[in-house]
């Protein structure tokens, strides 16, 4: 089963499952998860081929949705699910295939469509780091800077470094091979009729008006909101605003 980071709570709200995006980990969501745990229990996962979870040659959304289903089944009741980017796609497939496991669904800055961009430059940048020369994360950041200009992204990637073992906690070879699947979206039948929010960064172009018909077909109760001044990594760029939006959605009608 996936590695989980659990934040227990005395609160009585529906438990929340947080699903990170490509190159991320549950640890990236630690602050937001802890803050949300004043409502009820929060679990953040490491997806397959990420963090401290198992490595696999498969990285399809069907497989990732099955992983999430096992986590929810293990806790014995439906959960509210918050998924960002790749994690948002996995959460959507979970909700469409196993709607009995999802109470409310929040999809952060992604749509159920195929994207034309590539994440391969970032994989190649990480592959190019000479880990034998890395003693601290700043050493890796300095090497990444040759290919990745944004210091925020450099810091984000180096959170997936195991400094002691001098290895990436990312299965870069499989993620590269599975990139077409990661950028795509599977042909999933059915609908998820539960409350759904597509929360985007106002400066991001990941969720466009062109994708709304597809979204509404799969998620008839979908609502849309944007966080001003945020891009694709909206939870990292505007954490308080993101948290407030999550709370408002999850608590609506409670």
Same domain, 20 and 51: yes
Average pLDDT, stretch 75-79? Answer: 95
Same domain, 133 and 156: yes
Same domain, 20 and 110: yes
Structural domain count of the chain: 2
Same domain, 94 and 195: yes
Same domain, 143 and 237: no
Per annotation, catalytic residue among 85, 160, 200, 204 = 85
Same domain, 131 and 14: no
Give how far the C-alpha of residue 25 lies from the chain's centroid of Cα atoms, to the nearest Å: 8
Distance CA 213, CA 230 (A): 24
Q: Is 147 labeled as catalytic in the residue annotation?
A: no
Per-residue pLDDT, 99: 98
Average pLDDT, stretch 232-247? Answer: 96
Q: Is 232 labeled as catalytic in the residue annotation?
A: yes
pLDDT band of 252, cuts 50, 70, 90: confident
Same domain, 102 and 148: no
Per-residue pLDDT of 164-216, as tens digits, reads 999 999 999 999 999 999 999 999 988 999 999 999 999 999 999 999 999 99
Per annotation, catalytic residue among 59, 84, 232, 235 = 232
Average pLDDT, stretch 37-65? Answer: 98
Unique residue bearing structure tokens 């960064």: 201
Average pLDDT, stretch 241-248? Answer: 98
Same domain, 82 and 162: no
Dihedral-angle region of residue 111 (phi above 0 means left; psi in -120 to 50 means alpha; beta otherwise): beta
Give the residue numbers spanning the domain of 147: 120-175
Per DSSP, what are the bridge partners of residue 198?
A: 107, 224
> Residue 48's domain is classified under what CATH number?
3.40.50.1820
Q: In the chain, helix, strand, coil percent, each to 5? A: 40, 15, 40
Per-residue pLDDT, 189: 85
Q: Is 135 labeled as catalytic in the residue annotation?
A: no
Distance CA 29, CA 242 (A): 12
Distance CA 142, CA 151 (A): 9
Per DSSP, what are the bridge partners of residue 12?
A: none
Distance CA 85, CA 138 (A): 26
User: Of 131, 157, 175, which residue sits at a domain end?
Assistant: 175
Q: What is the pTM of this model?
A: 0.96
Same domain, 95 and 44: yes
Given a cut of 70, whether residue 253 has pLDDT beyond it is: no
Same domain, 34 and 89: yes
Given a cut of 90, whether residue 254 has pLDDT beyond it is: no
Per-residue pLDDT of 95-143, as tens digits, reads 999 999 999 999 999 999 999 988 999 999 999 999 999 999 999 999 9
């Amino acid at each position: 089963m996936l590695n989980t980071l659990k934040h227990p709570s005395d609160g009585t709200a529906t438990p929340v499952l947080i699903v990170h995006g490509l190159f991320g980990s549950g640890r990236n969501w630690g602050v937001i998860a802890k803050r949300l745990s004043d409502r009820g229990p929060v679990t953040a996962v490491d997806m397959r081929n990420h963090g401290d979870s198992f490595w696999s040659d498969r990285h399809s959304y069907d497989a990732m949705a099955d992983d999430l289903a096992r986590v929810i089944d293990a806790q014995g009741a439906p959960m509210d699910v918050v998924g960002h980017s790749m994690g948002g796609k996995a959460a959507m497939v979970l909700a469409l295939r196993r709607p009995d496991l999802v109470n409310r669904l929040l999809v952060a800055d992604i749509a159920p469509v195929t994207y034309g961009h590539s994440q391969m430059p970032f994989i190649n940048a990480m592959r190019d780091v000479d880990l034998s020369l890395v003693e601290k994360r700043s050493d890796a950041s300095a090497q990444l800077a040759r290919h990745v200009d944004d210091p925020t992204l450099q810091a984000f990637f180096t959170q997936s470094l195991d400094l002691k073992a001098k290895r990436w906690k990312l299965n870069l070879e499989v993620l590269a091979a599975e990139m077409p699947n990661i950028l795509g979206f599977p042909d999933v039948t059915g609908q998820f009729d539960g409350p759904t929010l597509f929360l985007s960064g106002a400066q991001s172009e990941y969720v466009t008006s062109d994708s709304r018909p597809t979204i509404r077909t799969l998620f008839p109760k979908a609502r849309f909101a944007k966080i001003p001044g945020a891009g694709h990594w909206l939870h990292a760029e505007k954490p308080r605003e993101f948290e407030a939006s999550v709370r408002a959605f999850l608590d609506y009608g409670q």
